[in-house]
Structure 1
Amino acid sequence: MEMERSENGISCVQASHSQVLNISTSAQLAFAMPAGFIPACVPDALSPNSYFPYFSGSYLAVAALLNGGNVMATFVGMLTAWMKERGVEISEESTIYPQLIQAAQAQLNTDLRVIPTVLGERHAASSQGQGSNISPWNLSLGHVTPALCRGILDNLISMMPLQKLLEAGVERVVASGSALGWNEVLKQEVEKAFPLPVVYGKDVDSAVGVAMLCSDGLSRKQ
């Protein structure tokens, strides 16, 4: 079944010039490189991208990120720990997520910036999270939550630049993943980040298989 899903996903990418984006615990992006592209014989260990053999002698470009929905989970875990230290017990961390989204949606904009690479990345294992433009006026959940979501997308784009997508002929983004399923703020950041149509729905379920398949391959190499 998983192989069938992956094959369907590959067909979806090939036929529609789509980039597959999945944001669940981690995150993956994948798209077909133009005909004639040949990767280097020796992969660059410092490159955030990997290339896998594809149909008709072409290659699939993949960025497999360590930081995705787990960034929000880490943030929620920190909030829970802080409250516990103050003697407030939270029975279910899941009850915090809707409050974060509600606070973020009430805040129209934020100048707070977050680099959320708290888990490092495969090509930059020593990288850490950072914050900037911090002021007394942007430390509320309404500011921090969208800044985290924007940071996740900024990290994605830094690893797979928009210009590379456009040069490869990508015409739309096919998006899925559990983090996008519940996080409306993250979905909004996806749509802001890509100057292309973003598609959700049944097409996603099959298309995401190819990115996940390649991500599994990367994980086995670690």
Structure 2
Amino acid sequence: MTEKAYILGMDIGTTSVKVCIYDPITKELLAKQNKDTAANIPSDQGIEGNKQDVPKIVSAVHYCVSRLPRDLLRHVNRIGVCGQMHGVVLWRNRAWEKIEKEGVVMRFDAIRENMSALYTWQDTRCKPEFLETLPKPDSHLKCYSGYGCATLLWMLKHKPEKLKNFSCSATVQDFVVAMLCDLDTPVISDQNAASWGYFNTEQNEWNTEILSSIEFPVNLLPKIIKSGEAAGILKSSWNGIPEGTPVGVAMGDLQCSIISTLETEQDAVLNISTSAQLAIVSDSISDLGCNTIEHLPYFDNKYLVVAASLNGGNVLATFVKMLQQWMLEFGFHIPQSKVWEKLIALGLNASDSNMKISPLLLGERHTPTSKASVENIDLSNIQLASVFKSLCDSLIENLHCMMPKEILQKGKIKRIVGNGSGLSRNVVLQRAVEHYYSLPLEFTSGGDAARGAAIAVVKIQNV
């Protein structure tokens, strides 16, 4: 009888942690768990800062894994990890501890005193005028606010003493991998390194000379490993997973979501959750004549051609919260689920209107100072149904401006595969996708980044 061999997949996202146990033979998910991290904390930069508490994120990881069936966990022989890209956390020494009971590791805890907060991809402290003072990266990719290197360069200028307190930096998912493998020096995948800025994807190297020239502490940069390779091994048995289990280097949640979803390279994948991304796979970097598209490292030396908008489900969620607040001020409390249900029902029956909404509530990386606005308001389109439909249309129209359908046609894309709760639960958005791109939108059984992380480490052998 063949010994069972499963993979633990983990996705450490912007708002939640998701984990699963994946059977690489049957390609089935045998179990899964998720938990909201509730990790946001106030920033000294006000609304321009965006920080999260890493111990709360680590606690959510423990919560999820500990609730997976033990009879499955003991057959896990590889661990794949992915998570929110661009962000940065700093730490010194080993900023974690193992909590043991009778010689068995029950959980890992992050030591808050030995680390910074996580500065996330949503952090906007790096204003255009600051970014313009920075040297140009030796890369086809730019460096934007919220990117790890940009945030560290901002600290170098405004809080240099803070940087001197730490010896390591990486993404939060890299921190979790370092914790599980008990690494002295963190490692980072080419996918996450590319999301930091100042990384050359073709040479697979940091721009250390450029960064050193402006006195950036390059000793803080993690070591680079190709996505899908091992970062180390589990140093202690953990929730029944055997000691010595290989742990893959942490990857980007976007790439893992794509590998979980993509069925053929004639598919485009549209993900709308907190933000929004439309992506297709390419063999190489090419000039598409569009500065709103990026080529990000994927797997097997391929690239993702991506339009990554900062405005997605977060904009619609803000609209819903605004309506809730208005009703509360009139003395009525309406649950969020009821607001969503009503809006989608109204939007499905709404006719087209001439209202034009710019949904750029969070700006965009290529135009960070842009704001949301509404034009052509008149008596015929002020009904809630018209406003909601116009808002959904505007989000897809914005994505279409970033990656026009002609690029998908040139890539011989036959359909768009949908992904993310922001899209799967909203039929009004789905109709807008088919309208703007003139392609069928379908949902497959994939789309889970935790599952993608498990798929991506299938080839890892014992380290």
In structure 2, what is the equivalent of residue 79 of structure 1?
Answer: 323
Q: Is the 2:260–2:446 contact (alpha carbons within 8 Å) kept by the matching residues of 1?
A: no
In structure 2, what is the equivalent of residue 125 of structure 1?
Answer: 368
Question: Following TM superposition, by how much is the alpha carbon of 1:126 offset from its aligned partner in structure 2, in angstroms?
Answer: 0.6
**CA 1:12–1:204: 2 relative to 1, 3 Å:** closer
- Give yes or no for the alignment of 1:66 onto 2:310: yes
In structure 2, what is the equivalent of residue 193 of structure 1?
Answer: 436
Give SS of 1:47's match.
Answer: coil
2:264 to 15, 34, 44: 15
For residues 56 and 99 of structure 1, what CA distance do their matches in structure 2 show? 45
Q: In percent, how many aligned pairs have the same letter?
A: 36
**CA 1:72–1:8: 2 relative to 1, 3 Å:** closer
- Give yes or no for the alignment of 1:89 onto 2:339: no
Structure in which a larger fraction of residues adopt strand: 2
Q: How does 1:117-156 map to 2 (within 5 A)?
A: 117-156=360-399
Structure in which a larger fraction of residues adopt helix: 1
Amino acid in structure 2 at the alignment position of 1:134 = I
The gaps in structure 2 that reach 5 residues or longer are 1-8, 11-79, 83-254, 457-463
Give SS of 2:264's match.
Answer: helix
Aligned residues: 205
For residues 58 and 106 of structure 1, what CA distance do their matches in structure 2 show? 42
In structure 1, what is the equivalent of residue 295 of structure 2?
Answer: 51
Q: How does 1:156-175 map to 2 (within 5 A)?
A: 156-175=399-418
Normalized against structure 2, the TM-score is what? 0.40
Amino acid in structure 1 at the alignment position of 2:291 = S
* Structure exhibiting the larger radius of gyration computed from Cα positions: 2
Give SS of 1:16's match.
Answer: coil
Amino acid in structure 2 at the alignment position of 1:20 = V
Q: Is the 2:272–2:312 contact (alpha carbons within 8 Å) kept by the matching residues of 1?
A: yes
Amino acid in structure 2 at the alignment position of 1:137 = S
For residues 417 and 301 of structure 2, what CA distance do their matches in structure 1 show? 23
For residues 296 and 273 of structure 2, what CA distance do their matches in structure 1 show? 22
Q: Deviations over 1:162-195 (max 9, x none)?
A: 1112112222111111112221111111121222
In structure 1, what is the equivalent of residue 342 of structure 2?
Answer: 99
Question: Following TM superposition, by how much is the alpha carbon of 1:64 offset from its aligned partner in structure 2, in angstroms?
Answer: 1.7
Q: Deviations over 1:20-70 (max 9, x none)?
A: 10011111111123x554469xxx9x9322212345654321122110011
1:29 to 267, 273, 278: 278
Amino acid in structure 1 at the alignment position of 2:414 = E
Q: Is the 1:13–1:32 contact (alpha carbons within 8 Å) kept by the matching residues of 2?
A: no
Amino acid in structure 2 at the alignment position of 1:76 = V
Give SS of 1:175's match.
Answer: strand
**CA 1:22–1:12: 2 relative to 1, 3 Å:** closer
For residues 373 and 256 of structure 2, what CA distance do their matches in structure 1 show? 38
The answer to which structure, 1 or 2, has the higher relative contact order (CA under 8 A, 6+ apart) is 1
For residues 338 and 257 of structure 2, what CA distance do their matches in structure 1 show? 36
Q: How big is the alpha-carbon RMSD for the aligned residues of Structure 1 and Structure 2?
A: 3.1
The gaps in structure 1 that reach 5 residues or longer are 214-222
Amino acid in structure 2 at the alignment position of 1:191 = E
